[in-house]
Chain A
Amino acid sequence: MLRKKLPPLQSFLHLVSRRSNHLARQQYDVIVVGGGHAGTEAAAAAARVGAETLLVSQKIHTIGALSCNPSLGGVGKGQLVKEVDALDGLCGRAGDWAGIHFSVLNRRKGPAVWGPRAQLDRQRYREFIQSELLSTPRLTVLEGSVEELLVTEANPEEPGHHRVTGIRLANGSHLISASSVVLTTGTFLSGSLFMGQTTSPGGRIGDAPSSAGLSQTLRERLGLRIGRLRTGTPPRIVRDSVDLSLADLHPPDAHPTPFSFLNTHTRCKPEEQLPCYLTYTTPGVERVVRESLHLNCHIQQDTKGPRYCPSIESRVLRFPGRKHQVWLEPEGVTSDLLYPQGLSMTMPPDTQLHLIREIPAMRRAEIHTPGYGVQYDFVCPTQLSPALQVKSTQGLFLAGQINGTTGYEEAAAQGLWAGVNAARRALCMPAVALSRTESYIGVLVDDLVSRGVTEPYRMFTSRAEFRTSLRPDNADLRLTLKGFAEVGCVSPLRYQEAVRVRDSLQDALAALQALALSAPSWRKKLPDIGMSEAKSTLLTAMDVLQYNDVSFEMLASAFPECFSPHMEFSQRLKIEAVYRPHCDLQRKEIERIQKEESMSLPQDIDYFSLPVSLSQEVREILDRVRPSTLGAATRLQGITPAAIVHLLNYVRHTGQKERRTHRNRADQKEEGDEKLCARHASLPQ
């Protein structure tokens, strides 16, 4: 993919605007509102699945913009990027194109928790995303502001109280209809910006606020429960004004590791990479924060902000008397700015300057753009199905910060999944599920829809109970094959590559299993390893590869005829060998959970009148959360095992009944109305 030449930005924008002027159709399968990480992945995924897709963004120029930090990936987040890539999403390849500083975090802690990460060039990232969208068939991009959602009565064949039919644009009464609409409004939903004592409406500095109509439709017309969250961004510092000799140099990895399974190298050459710098706060920083508290509206509000990406204000207030880390990150190859990670702040601009100048390296620093805080509405995500569709509103999908998450990677993962499901719904294809047992995306979606959020949700590896099976190295095996065969969002090219990788790995693993020697013979062949096994049984090469100080390269040089053909995958084979016994142990549990997750609970079920013996308390919980599968129900607090068995029993009975009804319907199909039938087939069984 890196071989592809990007069109020059000028002509590209021209092309897009030409497209939007000639908006040929008033009807699409899928409309995606918003051009951030969630929106771009959603639009691209919907189009890949085969839907005629329209992406509406306030400004075409800001599509693919990195609103906050100039970086992608990390621990937990890197896994999400690998998974989005495995499902043929954009952000992994965009990261490889735009990265200017690559490093795999946690390199010393075990491959399951490695965190691929890169500093990005903002401009290159945007270029790549825009160019990708442009070259995606079936995808149209339109510059405009959405005034309201068009909503009508629900289709009685499906659960839900409303149905979305399209959008109305702000300028005049321009209506565009669609079967599915994906909202990815980020921080723009009733967003307000905070800096010092001033407040203004908006979701990002320099951009117009989005229409109040959208928020109103969600709240009043659809009756959705809305909450409010806050976040913030640091001031951008003029690079030349910083004395970097007073900060610690942090070089990138000598050999950049690409995010994408399709790339063997990154666009940026190893030696072209830029370093990061690390410095620390001083007692002076804490003093400035305390002295300016009365001038700081944002910090006085009790809206929930993230505990793990706190502003410098909340850091020093919660953990006083400590020094806190400040990372100085490059913003791009040609940019003359630095991004001070850890210094998100909302005080008045002149106080911000005082604050940063309390740090030795920034004693004479200049601020290019001051930091600010944002407060915005989010839709409580327990109102969504695992397909990220609003349960009460047919065809309305939500992804990104509107669901209470934080972070580019979380947004991209949801965007992709919402886009896939929006397209499948529009094309009358049955819904597909992604379990928490097979992916971080599944963990993310399941946590959101079945537990909800109380603060901005961020991915951590500790959230994934099957972390040792869900590794960054095997995301392609976990998702690409399924993404092609079941989900339909993976191109044949990528699929073929994944099949090749799978087959090669299988061959190599078979070769490792096939070679078995006694311990003395191994000692003779590999004298450098301290093999203490005094066993009489034979050890396979697979067993030996699990030893800490044995690498695949060592085996290949000892047995070139067996293993040298598989050198391409030496690292993956080593990881596979070490983790396989643990993953084998997890498989049973995974299968059990998947079985429970395959039993869906109807969304329109009336738990209060269900003729099974459930306590009032359990009925209330079930009614409030409306778990979509039995598996999700078992994870709810307060649901007893007895209640699960009653539900299981009920599901089995109704399942049989429904199948009978379905057969009857299928018979009626002969008489006509194919469309109705196709819709029915798309219902969860």
Chain B
Amino acid sequence: MLPSIYHGIRRAAVHTRRTSTPPCRLLSTCDGPPVGLAHAETIFALSSGHGRCGVAVVRASGPASATALRCMAGLTRSLPPPRTALLRSISDPKSKEVLDRGLVLWFPAPHSFTGEDCVEFHIHGGPAVITAVLQALGSVPGMRPAEAGEFTRRAFQAGKLGLTEVEGLGDLIHAETEAQRRQALRQMSGELGSLYQDWSHKLKRCLAHVEAFIDFSEDELIEDGVLNQVDRSVCDLQAEMERHLKDERRGERLRSGVQVVIAGATNAGKSSLLNTLCQRPAAIVSPIAGTTRDVVETALDIGGFPVLLSDTAGLRDSPDLVEREGVRRARERVDQADLTLVVVDCARLPSDAMQATSFLQGHLRSVLLNQEQPDTVFPADRFLLVLNKTDLLPQEQRQKLVGELRQASGLPPLCLISCHTTEGLQNFLTVLHSSVKTLCGDPLSGAPTLTQARHRAHLQQCFAALAQYQRYRNIDLALAAEGVRLALTSLGRITGRVGAEEILDIIFKDFCIGK
């Protein structure tokens, strides 16, 4: 399911013409050649952080960069001098609508970060502007959103990175992939996710049926009717996608901001922490274990950064069906979170420091139980340990505990607070603020609009590829099938790659194929 830079291996890097190409060819008796095709992939991405930043930097790399620069910055005649900032109006290449006014920079190959032609757009940092510019870039022929780590990887292949940078590259890509994975999980768990999955499912069947017709119809009983079904499905899919791409309501409410999840055992004081942080009784608090059952969400502003704080059900095995569902949702949230606050009741800690450390490690593991790799080291920037109810501990024990636990290895950063007396809260807010700030520096975390821009670009490619099916349907079935393959590859960048074996499985399930 990971959207990753290597998922493209089994696909052809073909970018068919945009939807802007007049579809009149479909009707003409004589089908002409595709013209003006780009010859390599050009990638683009937001390369600065998000949140409340004044300036955002959007970067593109690859042969179509110059075209993008020309048509978006209105530079019809010549490109700007290399590596020199130029103030321009930046507009949509299709609608010519002005999106923003900002700086553009042109870095011709090989003197650029990636060694390829590169362009930078320095624009205003608002999410609406950023999204608009990214979508505009996505509509330039031959351009697509970068996959995780792709810029760095291109730079690496061009020999543009120093030895120490190369050492860190694997980890960087890992982090970026992780961020995208969490982002994708959030997107895919909603209605939009099931819509894309449904499309992917239909496309797989379409492809399987076309492939079956190509590979088996000469020897086997595969009627021409199969292709008519595919025609209908492709038509329906095109119509659905077109409606979806035009729908400005975006379908789902955006959950913007850094995703912070409060998790832990029952009665550790998770809901109290939420209420303390948002300074209002957003969640019901009671001494009864298992009070919180569903996820309680609140949008917060922490030191100027947007945060979406979720309180979750206490993690325990419960015979109660409703509570069990609450626990499942809690674990799902932890899996998707940018930052998890693991809340522990101080009073339950063993008094010996060694024992306390292993208790906390065990506890962390149990909170993360659902993770794919339970034995991995906890990345320190994804978890904060919050020891609550310090007011229940005697003063000297509190200080001893802090001293010893801070020394202990294998634990994420930890804070001692009392939601009851608000002791330690200021310190906790400082730590939380710095974590959120770090997370906001990562352009990939917490911004669903960016993910949507990515999805949009892939959907547009998918849509355009389906037009290739239509165009070649009655002329060359191999080229028509290529269109469906490309459509599935583009959609697969959202829903996960589809291999040849999977298609063959559908073929053998749906048809009785001999010889």
Contacts and interface: CB of A to CB of B under 8 A. Distances in A.
A443 B476 CA distance: 23
Contacts of A105: 218-219
A543 B33 contact: yes
A543 B508 contact: no
A547 B485 CA distance: 23
A451 B501 CA distance: 10
Interface stretch (A167-175, A202-210, A258-266, A314-322): A314-322
B245 interface: no
A53 to B, nearest CB: 33
A589 to B, nearest CB: 4
Contacts of A577: 33
Given A109-B214, A110-B477, A462-B504, A325 B221 contact: yes
B12 A75 contact: no
Contacts of B32: 532-533, 543, 546-547
Nearest to A447: B500
Given A460-B504, A640-B4, A645-B169, A113 B512 contact: no
Interface string B9-35: 111111100000000110011111111
Given A308-B508, A324-B512, A461-B215, A585 B173 contact: no
Contacts of B31: 547-548
Interface stretch (A211-219, A465-473, A480-488, A662-670): A465-473
Interface string B183-221: 000000000000000000000000000010111111111
B282 interface: no
B188 to A, nearest CB: 19
A543 B33 CA distance: 6
A110 B512 contact: no
A609 interface: no
Interface string A633-650: 011000111111110110
Interface in B476-496: 476-480, 482, 485
B87 to A, nearest CB: 34
Most chain B CB within 10 A, of A318, A460, A634, A642, is at: A642
A642 B215 contact: no
A467 B373 CA distance: 38
Given A581-B37, A589-B8, A589-B12, A529 B218 contact: no
B153 interface: yes
A106 B214 contact: yes
A615 interface: yes
Interface string B23-51: 01100111111110101110000000000
Interface string A528-566: 011111000000000100111110000000000000000
B114 to A, nearest CB: 14
A588 interface: yes
B301 interface: no
Interface in B211-239: 211, 213-221
Contacts of B40: 588
A613 B170 contact: yes
Nearest to B497: A637
A327 interface: yes
A505 interface: no
A92 interface: no
Given A589-B13, A641-B148, A642-B177, A649 B170 contact: yes
B479 A112 contact: yes
Nearest to A646: B170
B184 to A, nearest CB: 14
Nearest to A467: B478
B156 interface: yes
Interface string B109-136: 0000000000000000000000000000
Interface in B48-106: none
A585 B504 CA distance: 25
Interface in A586-616: 586-589, 592-593, 612-613, 615-616
Contacts of B148: 641
Contact of B219 (A325, A529, A530, A641): A325
Given A106-B214, A109-B477, A547-B32, A466 B514 contact: no
A586 B12 contact: yes
A76 B214 CA distance: 10
A218 B279 CA distance: 73
Contact of B215 (A315, A462, A549, A641): A462
B265 interface: no
A25 B140 CA distance: 69
B508 to A, nearest CB: 5
A243 B327 CA distance: 71
Nearest to B220: A325
Nearest to A550: B30
Given A589-B12, A646-B170, A315 B512 contact: yes
B503 A465 contact: no
Contacts of A76: 215
B218 to A, nearest CB: 4
B432 interface: no
B353 interface: no
Contacts of A319: 512
A23 B470 CA distance: 64
A613 B175 CA distance: 13
B284 interface: no
B211 A582 contact: no
Most chain A CB within 10 A, of B34, B148, B480, is at: B34
B332 to A, nearest CB: 22
Given A530-B30, A645-B173, A74 B219 contact: yes
Given A341-B515, A584-B37, A641-B173, A75 B13 contact: no
Contact of A549 (B30, B170, B214, B480): B30
Contacts of B177: 640-642
A106 B504 CA distance: 19
A307 interface: yes
Contacts of A318: 512
A625 interface: no
Contacts of B512: 315, 318-319, 322, 324
A640 B372 CA distance: 14
Given A324-B514, A581-B37, A645-B153, A75 B211 contact: no
Contacts of A531: 30
Contacts of A460: 211, 215, 504
Interface string A155-196: 000000000000000000000000000000000000000000
Nearest to A581: B34
Given A74-B219, A462-B503, A582 B30 contact: no
Contact of B10 (A342, A579, A635, A643): A635
B376 interface: yes
Given A110-B476, A308-B515, A530-B28, A75 B10 contact: no
A440 B476 CA distance: 20
Contacts of A592: 13
A349 interface: no
A113 B477 contact: yes
A178 to B, nearest CB: 37
Given A109-B478, A112-B479, A467-B478, A461 B169 contact: no
Q: In the A-B complex, list the 3 residue pairs whose CB atoms are closest, starting with the nearest.
A: A110-B478, A110-B476, A546-B33
Given A112-B479, A550-B30, A587-B39, 15 more contacts: A109-B476, A109-B477, A110-B477, A307-B508, A310-B514, A325-B514, A530-B29, A532-B28, A547-B31, A585-B13, A585-B37, A589-B12, A634-B6, A635-B10, A646-B170
Interface of B: 2, 4-6, 8-15, 24-25, 28-35, 37, 39-41, 148-149, 153, 156, 166-167, 169-171, 173-174, 177, 211, 213-221, 373, 375-376, 472, 475-480, 482, 485, 500-501, 503-504, 508, 512-515
19 contacts: A113-B214, A113-B477, A307-B513, A308-B508, A308-B515, A309-B514, A323-B221, A460-B215, A461-B478, A462-B215, A462-B504, A532-B29, A532-B32, A581-B34, A582-B482, A585-B12, A588-B41, A634-B6, A645-B153
